[in-house]
């Protein structure tokens, strides 16, 4: 069967796949959409494409002298369906927006990629002064099109979303639930944050010289901001070479932290994220194998002054999620000169892992913190840790060590088991 005789359903599926390719930033340098070529293959393809409104709901603004014609064609062919605006260039941005005023209620998603495009976002200000009742997502990525050799942190200009677009009003954007920014900053006092379910902010600090600008806030203030976001489900942050990410999807929640200076921030975040009852919560972090000396196990624990605000927050998150028996395990390792910390809260219905005992001088200190977690029923420390963490070596075998003051749950005393796996 020749390609021009393919069933309509299959052709439409192929066309939709080609259309979705335009969402990739690497296509931004094309002078015209690849999608336009499909209509030029033959009359049959032309007619099938024109009769399928879904194919025209994504409006790509690319560096082409025909960009206005293309935008008008998308608006007319998409019928009354929702619109996704994708700006790959500042070229004709203002003119395209002028054509969109009559279709403001149809816009559902707005994206912009690249340095020059972000610099030209002020051209969208008039659009954001309108009521945009169905806009659900905003994605603005400063550096997706920068050459690989260019360092984003060498840039000396800081972009602030509310300075580019003006104040974002929740009244004009009532359906907005997702904001994703890269190399752009959103002031934490902006009222638009309160209704978000997804917030992704990447590369807060472009230049160390501006690292103390007021757009960055101390952790206690940041937690206060999160407390005012009752709908927040996913938070992803990348801050000045520390990479705290909190991404709780439906089945697994992870928080990797590559630099432990930020541990005072990432643990309390858990108290402000809505967790699915079936998920597990994992906090992972490492110093990296390039470090000359891996810290001792005790160095991974927060200072006593921080314990009251950190681990109780974790306990509240656990209690709010499972309301019952839980397991909390800590895993550290010093492979290849690096060190890592893993804290994992598991559903108590899962099989409890048992491990042979091995004394750790940091265990008593850690258990003091755990007294603040009344629902904690079991703590397991496992695998190899830095040699400074242990008072002395022991072989495998033996029973778990009961720690005084262990939390009780359902009439059962929680046991803390310290174990080491030989490499």
Q: Rounded to whole angstroms, how far apart are CA atoms 258 and 245?
A: 10
Residue with tokens 């003006």: 166
Q: Rounded to whole angstroms, how far apart are CA atoms 48 and 46?
A: 6
- What does the pLDDT read at residue 132? 94
Return phi, psi of residue 328, to 5°.
-130, 115
Q: Which two tokens stand for residue 228?
A: 């005012």
Q: Which two tokens stand for residue 34?
A: 């690849």
- What does the pLDDT read at residue 57? 86
Q: Is 196 in a helix, a strand, or coil?
A: coil
Pairing of strands 408-409, 412-413: antiparallel
- Please spell the DSSP secondary structure of 24-44, one letter per residue: SGGGGG-SS-HHHHHTTT-HH
pTM above 0.85, yes or no: no
Residue with tokens 């390039």: 290
Query: Domain locations in the chain?
Result: 1-216, 249-423
Angle between helical axes of 8-20 and 43-50 (0-180°, round to 10): 70
- What does the pLDDT read at residue 1? 60
- What does the pLDDT read at residue 9? 84
Q: What is the mean pLDDT of each run of 10 residues along the chain (423 residues)?
A: 75 76 50 64 82 84 81 87 88 86 92 87 90 94 52 53 87 93 80 86 50 47 68 66 40 41 50 46 43 42 44 47 39 40 40 37 46 48 38 31 32 31 31
25's CB contacts (< 8 A; 6+ apart) are 88, 113, 114, 141, 144, 145
- What does the pLDDT read at residue 109? 95
pLDDT tens, residue by residue, 331-370: 444 444 333 334 444 433 333 333 333 334 344 444 444 4
- Please spell the DSSP secondary structure of 71-131, one letter per residue: HHHHHHHTTTS-EEEEES-STTHHHHHHHHGGGGGGEEEEEEESHHHHHTGGGGHHHHTS-
315's CB contacts (< 8 A; 6+ apart) are 372, 373, 374, 375, 376
Q: Report CA-CA distances (Å) from 199 to 106, 137, 181, 188, 281.
A: 23, 10, 8, 11, 19
């Amino acid at each position: 069967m020749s390609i021009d005789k393919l069933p309509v359903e299959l052709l439409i599926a192929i066309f939709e796949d080609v259309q979705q390719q335009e969402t990739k930033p690497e296509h931004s340098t094309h002078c015209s959409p690849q999608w336009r070529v499909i209509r030029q293959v033959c009359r049959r393809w032309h007619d099938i494409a024109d009769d399928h409104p879904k194919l025209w709901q994504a409006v790509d603004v690319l560096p082409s002298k025909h960009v206005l014609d293309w935008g008008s064609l998308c608006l007319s062919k998409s019928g009354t369906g929702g619109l996704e605006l994708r700006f790959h260039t500042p070229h004709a941005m203002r003119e395209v927006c002028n054509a969109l005023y009559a279709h403001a209620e149809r816009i559902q998603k707005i994206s912009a990629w690249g340095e020059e495009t972000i610099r030209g976002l002020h051209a969208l200000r008039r659009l954001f002064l309108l009521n945009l009742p169905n806009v659900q997502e905003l994605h603005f990525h400063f550096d997706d099109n920068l050459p690989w050799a260019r360092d984003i942190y060498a840039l000396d200009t800081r972009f602030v979303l509310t300075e580019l677009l003006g104040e974002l009003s929740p009244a004009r954007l009532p359906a907005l639930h997702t904001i994703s920014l890269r190399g752009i900053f959103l002031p934490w006092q902006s009222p638009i944050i309160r209704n978000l379910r997804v917030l992704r902010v990447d590369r807060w600090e472009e230049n160390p010289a501006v690292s103390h600008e007021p757009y960055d806030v101390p952790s206690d203030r940041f937690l206060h901001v999160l407390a005012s976001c009752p709908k927040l489900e996913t938070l992803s942050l990348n801050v000045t070479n520390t990479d705290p990410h909190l991404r709780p999807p439906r089945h697994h929640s992870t928080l990797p932290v590559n630099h432990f200076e930020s541990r005072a921030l990432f643990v309390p975040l858990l108290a402000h994220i809505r967790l699915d009852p079936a998920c597990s919560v994992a906090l992972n972090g490492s110093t990296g194998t390039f470090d000359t000396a891996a810290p001792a196990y005790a160095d991974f624990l927060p200072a006593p002054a921080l314990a009251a605000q950190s681990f109780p927050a974790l306990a509240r998150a656990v209690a709010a999620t499972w309301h019952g028996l839980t397991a909390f395990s800590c895993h550290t390792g010093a492979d290849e000169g690096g060190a890592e910390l893993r804290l994992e809260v598991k559903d108590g219905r899962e099989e409890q892992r048992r491990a042979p005992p091995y004394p750790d001088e940091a265990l008593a200190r850690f258990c003091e913190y755990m007294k603040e977690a009344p629902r904690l029923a079991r703590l397991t420390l496992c695998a190899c840790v830095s040699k400074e963490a242990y008072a002395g070596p022991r072989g495998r075998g033996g029973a778990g060590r009961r720690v005084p003051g262990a939390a009780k749950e359902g009439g059962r005393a929680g046991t803390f088991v310290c174990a080491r796996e030989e490499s």
